[in-house]
Every structure is written in structure tokens, then in C-alpha cells.
Amino acid sequence: MNVTYANETSSNESLVDMREETYIDYSKRPETYIVPVIFSVIFLTGIVGNGILVKIFYSHKSMRTIPNTFLLCLAVGDLLVMGGSVPFVSLIYTFDSWPFGEGICKMSEFLRDLSLCVTVFTLTILSIDRYLAISSPYRIMRENANRLQTNVVVIMIWIFSFLFASPSAYFAHILHIGALRKHTIKICYPFPYDFDSTYPRIIVAIKFFLLYALPLMIIGSFYGLMAKSILKTSNEVAASSTSTKQREKRINVAKMILMLVLIFAICFLPNHVFLLWFYFTYPSSMQKYNLFWHVFKIAGYVLTFSNSCLNPIILYCISRKFRSYFQAYLFFWKEKIKRKGLKRQASIHSSSQDVRRHRIQSTRSTLTSETTKV
């Protein structure tokens, strides 16, 4: 099945066969109708979920802990890709040609890589932070110093992410290819077209290693050290109930971070597999590209964006504290109805008391009048 999926961004850079007899019109493809619906769900969930996370952090001082500062970093990165990339890339399966200009193309590619870098660097730092919190509990006592260090680390995460994502904004451009059915198809292409196939291979390999394999190895190493530290010191802290409770809290946070890491690994693996297969077997991959690889590519592409909406859901499911705040903001209308009901009940109660008081006063007045007459 050699078809052209021309306007997909960095999930597709394939420029597959443009022949008239192999081209399938977009209106006849199931993904034209399915994928935009999925992206709509991703967009709404991501905007609402990550927006509430930011609101929780800024509105509740008790939630401004060091781990939550990094979670805020994740939420802001996810909001950027939700607002600046998803609305545009979600339409690449709806139109056979990129409907936006080069500026949107550059912004979309840049924000996608920026969010990815922020996610990877933040999860890596979080795993290191949780290891230090569990293995060196007394460092928590230096709260002010740790907060300053955390803020510096967050700033460095954004600086390095910005630098790493900048080439995407610089090289992304509108590429005009083929002449199909008497019109040229435009795609948002992330690589310089005048470079040979070596450049895409290098970029794909670098992204896989630096933004996937290496961070997961580092995270895995620190979680291994964390488990070793927990087993080693479990008997030492058994005598102190306070130390045990603090340690349990830190372990629970570590479990929550581990779940975020696992979701990240699952969401980004298919896309990396497809890109590595396609570019490192190119040009034979163009002939081998069939229905399986087409579905696999779309699934991987959608999963990379779904990761940005899953983090709030994970926090809601795992953390009781986050869940209580989420419910308060998600179901605020229930609280309003409850308050109105209480006000109405109070008003009715007050009115009934006024009526009763008025009746008593009226009865007293009548009795006084009758007594006077007698």
C-alpha cells in the first residue's frame, strides 16, 4: 500500500510514492474522521487537566513543594504543546496539504520539541530528587536552600529545552512536492530538504538516545538505588513513627513519578520505533511501507501528544491530595448549588422564625388588649 501521507509533520517526513494510481483521497481514509476526534479529546483533556494543575499550584501554598514545582514545569510544557501545536497538527489528517503558513509550521515543530525536552529533563531530575529525598532525608531540613536550588534547576531545564528545540524552529519549512491531480501538495517538513538522508538519520538517532534511551537509563538507575536505600534503611527508621511517616510520603511521591515515567516511555516508544525503522532502512522502507506501518505510525504519532494530557489523569488517580483539589475545581458547580441550597434553607428558616415571632407578638398584643378591657 504505497500512499502519500504528505502533510504529516515529523511523524511522516516520508515523501512516499506520489503516483496517481496509488494515491487514496483523504475523504476515503478512515483516519480523516477518527484522528481529529481523538485529538479533540486530547486537547480538551490536556487544557483542562494541566490548567487545573497550574491553578492548584498557584492558589494553594501547601501544594508548592519541591516535587510539585517540577510537576508544574511539566504542566506548563504540556499546555504549550496543547495550545501551540495540537490544534494545527490535528488537521493534517483532514487536509491533504498543510493549510497553515510557514510561521505556524515552525512554531508547531518548536513547541512540540520544547515540550518533549521539558518532559524528559524534568522526569530525570525528579527521579534524582526523589532518590536524594529518600536516601538523604536530613537534606529536607534545608528547605530555603533546596527551594532556591529547585528554582535554578527549573530555569536551567527551560534554557536547555529552548536551545535543544531551536533547530526545529530554524529548519522547519513548507515543502512543495509532486504534482498530483494538477495541484502541488504542501507539507510542514522539519528537516532541510537540500540535505541528504544522513541528516534526518542523525537527528532521529540523537533524539532517540538523548530524549528517550539515556534518560530512561538514568531514571532506572536512580530508582534502583532508591530501592536499595529503602531496603537498607527500613529497619533503622522503624523505631521512629514520625520518620516512618515522612519516609512513606516520599516513597509514595516516588511511585507517582515512576508512573509518569512509565506512561512517557509507553507513549513515545512507537514513534521512535517507526522513525528509526523508516530512516535507517531508507529508501527500502518506502517500498515496505504498508497498512501495518501506516496504522503503527498514526498510533505512535497520536500517543506522543496523548502523553501531555495523561499526566493530570495519573495524578488524579494516584494522589489523594491532588484528587481532592481536582474534584473541587472540576465540580465547582456542585459546590455553588450546595451553597445556594444552604442559603435557601437558611432563608426559609429565618422566614419561619420571623412568622413565629410575629404570631407570638400578635398573640401577646391581643391578650394585653383583652386584659385592659376587663
Own/partner long-range contacts of 227-230 (Cβ < 8 Å, ≥24 apart): 229/131, 229/134, 229/135, 230/134
Mean pLDDT of 202-206: 93
The set of residues, in sequence order, having a beta carbon less than 8 Å from that of 223 and lying 6+ positions away, is 127, 131, 254, 258
- Asked if 96 and 26 touch (Cβ cutoff 8 Å), the reply is yes
With cut-offs at 50, 70 and 90, classify the pLDDT of residue 360: low
User: What pLDDT does 133 receive?
Assistant: 80
Please determine, for residue 48, whether its predicted confidence score (pLDDT) is greater than 60.
Answer: yes
Pairing of strands 183-189, 173-180: antiparallel
Please determine, for residue 112, whether its predicted confidence score (pLDDT) is greater than 70.
Answer: yes
With cut-offs at 50, 70 and 90, classify the pLDDT of residue 340: low
User: What pLDDT does 282 receive?
Assistant: 80
User: What pLDDT does 229 receive?
Assistant: 79
pLDDT digits (tens, 9 = 90+) for 63-99: 888 889 999 999 999 999 999 889 988 888 888 788 8
User: What pLDDT does 237 receive?
Assistant: 52
- The mean of the pLDDT values for the chain is 80
Please determine, for residue 271, whether its predicted confidence score (pLDDT) is greater than 70.
Answer: yes
Q: Give the cell for residue 368.
A: 394585653
- Asked if 105 and 172 touch (Cβ cutoff 8 Å), the reply is yes
pLDDT digits (tens, 9 = 90+) for 4-29: 333 344 444 444 444 454 566 666 77
The set of residues, in sequence order, having a beta carbon less than 8 Å from that of 92 and lying 6+ positions away, is 7, 8, 9, 98, 188
Q: Give the cell for residue 60.
A: 494553594
Mean pLDDT of 335-353: 60
Considering the chain, what percentage of its residues have pLDDT values greater than 70? 73
With cut-offs at 50, 70 and 90, classify the pLDDT of residue 267: very high
Please determine, for residue 274, whether its predicted confidence score (pLDDT) is greater than 80.
Answer: yes
**E strands within the chain?**
173-180, 183-189
User: What distance in Å separates the CA atoms of residue 110 and residue 123, rounded to the nearest whole number?
Assistant: 20
User: What distance in Å separates the CA atoms of residue 227 and residue 260, rounded to the nearest whole number?
Assistant: 18
pLDDT digits (tens, 9 = 90+) for 302-336: 999 999 999 999 999 988 888 899 998 888 766 66
User: What distance in Å separates the CA atoms of residue 19 and residue 24, rounded to the nearest whole number?
Assistant: 10
Q: Mind listing the domains of the chain with CATH numbers?
A: 26-330 (1.20.1070.10)
- Asked if 155 and 115 touch (Cβ cutoff 8 Å), the reply is no
Q: Which of 56, 59, 123, 54 is nearest to 83 (CA)?
A: 54
Residue that wins the pLDDT comparison between 333 and 256:
256
User: What pLDDT does 185 receive?
Assistant: 80
Give the CA radius of gyration of the chain: 29
Q: Which of 185, 191, 169, 211 is nearest to 282 (CA)?
A: 191
User: What pLDDT does 95 receive?
Assistant: 81
- Structure letter (DSSP) for residue 30: T
